[in-house]
Amino acid sequence: MTDPTITELADAAVATRPLDFLADFASMSRNGATERGGVDRQAATIADGQNRNWFRGLVEGHGFTVHYDQVGNQYCLLELSPGAPWIAVGSHLDSQPLGGRFDGAYGVLAGAHAALQVQQRLHNDAQEAKFNIVVINWFNEEGCRFKPSMMGSSVYTGKLSAAQALNTTDPAGVSVHEALQAIGTIGDFELQVEAYVEIHIEQGRSLEDRGLTIGLVESTWGANKYEFTVHGEQSHTGATVIADRHDALLGASALVVAAREVALEYSTEEHMVITSCGEFTVLPNSPVVVASQVNLLVDVRSTDPEVLAAADAALHDRVRQIEKMASVTIERGASHIWGSKQYDESGINLARNAAQAVGLEHGVVRTLAGHDSTNMKDIVPTIMLFVPSVEGISHNEGELTQDKDMLAGVRMLSEVLHRVVTGEFV
């Protein structure tokens, strides 16, 4: 008997490969699992490292090769046609503290499964791929341990320098570089991609409300995020008369309230404004001490650039008023800004045709949240898809996407990727 050829071995591997998305998703969700059904896998923590290694093991077992770039983006390469250019599918495996298990992680795992389904389909149909597929787990999309968010894709798309990303420190003073080295997921890999596809949970309720399974994302909201530091003067809470106080906590609290008021004042029927303060650190945070400093992050978002600019200007006016009212100074530090922008029209059409072909209820949606595709769409043709989030709950351990919707999303993604690798998109 003669030895099997490489092609025969590859055929056998493709034919016998078992794929069970829900089982893999359940396994992945054990990494960094929290008591209430969520995960805590902040960027480059031990839990994130475990999950990255788990994912590496999973995909290597299915024939991918895995590499890391200089800022810890994880590239899982599935070569379908040696020498062909690459298209990417991806999202992020990091999470918020006490976050949900679907945000980002669903899209990365769905990308790997969909890529394997495409490989199988090409094989069954004896069809040539025009592109190879790389599944990318972008580093630090969440931006909670290290700011700004969407860090890995920002470096990839040239919006942030690698040096700046690597030198960013967490509240304990650990740099991105040190943290990535500690979990061993940093390298020097580089890869150019010709198109990008991402699937993500909606994190809102529009699909659920409309009874749809797939969202075709047509645009992002614009967002302006600012790190503010309110400087006051530390003193005794009992012994310092009001006239002598420079209370940083009073100033910061007024800024939180002002942000909400700006949202209410500047939202129109047509264009909503959303503002938040999600992070607030008081120094020295002691019961009998007037705070000397508060660091807070305020973000302002809107669908319309002019409405966003007006709300932003109003927020800055309020900053100046609060400085006087609380006798503090407010310094604006780093900012992270992205514009409201359309996704590629031909990508939306391709995705619409794909949804029709696989028989899934679909509709056009916008994304309020930022995603790695927010960056990628600015450098390559990009398709962004959503699956429903139960009650729109996200960044919460109770985040949920039903199994049937996750599976429908993988089916949809696989149809889209098939069309992309066979040359329908770019």
Q: With CB under 5 A, what is the number of residues at the site for Mn ion?
A: 2
Read off the tokens for 284: 């020295």
Choose the one of Mn ion, ligand HGY, none that binds residue 370, judging by a C-beta under 5 to 8 angstroms depending on kind: ligand HGY
Chain-centre distance for alpha carbon 393: 16
Choose the one of Mn ion, ligand HGY, none that binds residue 348, judging by a C-beta under 5 to 8 angstroms depending on kind: none
Decide whether 59 or 150 has the Cβ nearer to ligand HGY.
150
Choose the one of ligand HGY, Mn ion, none that binds residue 107, judging by a C-beta under 5 to 8 angstroms depending on kind: none
Among 48, 103, 399, 415, binds Mn ion (CB under 5 A): 103
- Expressed in percent and rounded to 5, the helix, strand and coil fractions of the chain are 40, 25, 40
Decide whether 298 or 328 has the Cβ nearer to Mn ion.
298
Name the 3-class secondary structure at 74: strand
Rounded to 5 degrees, what are φ and ψ at 329? -115, 145
Choose the one of Mn ion, ligand HGY, none that binds residue 103, judging by a C-beta under 5 to 8 angstroms depending on kind: Mn ion
Cα distance between residue 412 and residue 292, in whole Å: 53
Can you give the length of the chain in residues?
426
Q: Shortest gap between Cβ of 180 and Mn ion (angstroms)?
A: 20
Decide whether 104 or 111 has the Cβ nearer to Mn ion.
104
Q: Shortest gap between Cβ of 10 and ligand HGY (angstroms)?
A: 38
Q: Shortest gap between Cβ of 296 and ligand HGY (angstroms)?
A: 15
Decide whether 198 or 415 has the Cβ nearer to ligand HGY.
198
Whether the CB-CB separation of 74 and 29 falls below 8 Å is answered with: no
Q: What is the DSSP string of 377-389?
A: TTTS-EEEEEE--
Helix (H) or strand (E) holding 196: strand 193-201
Binding footprint of ligand HGY on the chain (CB under 6 A)? 143, 149-150, 369-370
Q: Shortest gap between Cβ of 310 and Mn ion (angstroms)?
A: 27
Choose the one of Mn ion, ligand HGY, none that binds residue 150, judging by a C-beta under 5 to 8 angstroms depending on kind: ligand HGY
Q: Shortest gap between Cβ of 96 and ligand HGY (angstroms)?
A: 9
| Residue sitting closest to ligand HGY (CB) | 149
Whether the CB-CB separation of 116 and 64 falls below 8 Å is answered with: no
User: Which span sits near Mn ion by CB under 5 A: 103-111, 132-140, 327-335, 354-362?
Assistant: 103-111
User: Which span sits near Mn ion by CB under 5 A: 52-60, 96-104, 208-216, 256-264?
Assistant: 96-104
Decide whether 255 or 300 has the Cβ nearer to Mn ion.
300
Whether the CB-CB separation of 51 and 32 falls below 8 Å is answered with: yes
Q: Shortest gap between Cβ of 45 and ligand HGY (angstroms)?
A: 18
Per rule CB under 5 A, is residue 232 in the interface with Mn ion?
A: no
Choose the one of ligand HGY, Mn ion, none that binds residue 372, judging by a C-beta under 5 to 8 angstroms depending on kind: none
Q: Shortest gap between Cβ of 424 and ligand HGY (angstroms)?
A: 29
Whether the CB-CB separation of 274 and 262 falls below 8 Å is answered with: no
Place of tokens 């938040």: 276
Decide whether 160 or 322 has the Cβ nearer to ligand HGY.
160
Please say whether the dihedral angle defined by the alpha carbons of residues 376, 378, 380 and 384, taken in this order, is positive or negative.
positive
Per-residue exposure over 204-224, b if at least 16 CB sit within 10 Å of its own CB, e if not? bebbbeeebbbbbbbbbbbbb
Decide whether 81 or 276 has the Cβ nearer to ligand HGY.
276
Nearest to 91 by CA among 339, 297, 367: 367
Chain-centre distance for alpha carbon 276: 18
Among 104, 204, 251, 381, binds Mn ion (CB under 5 A): 104
Read off the tokens for 159: 């919006």
Decide whether 103 or 304 has the Cβ nearer to ligand HGY.
103
Nearest to 133 by CA among 92, 193, 180, 91: 193
Q: Shortest gap between Cβ of 92 and Mn ion (angstroms)?
A: 6
Place of tokens 């590629």: 344
Place of tokens 């503090």: 328
Cα distance between residue 149 and residue 172, in whole Å: 18
User: Which span sits near Mn ion by CB under 5 A: 101-109, 280-288, 306-314, 358-366?
Assistant: 101-109
* Binding site residues, Mn ion, CB under 5 A: 103-104
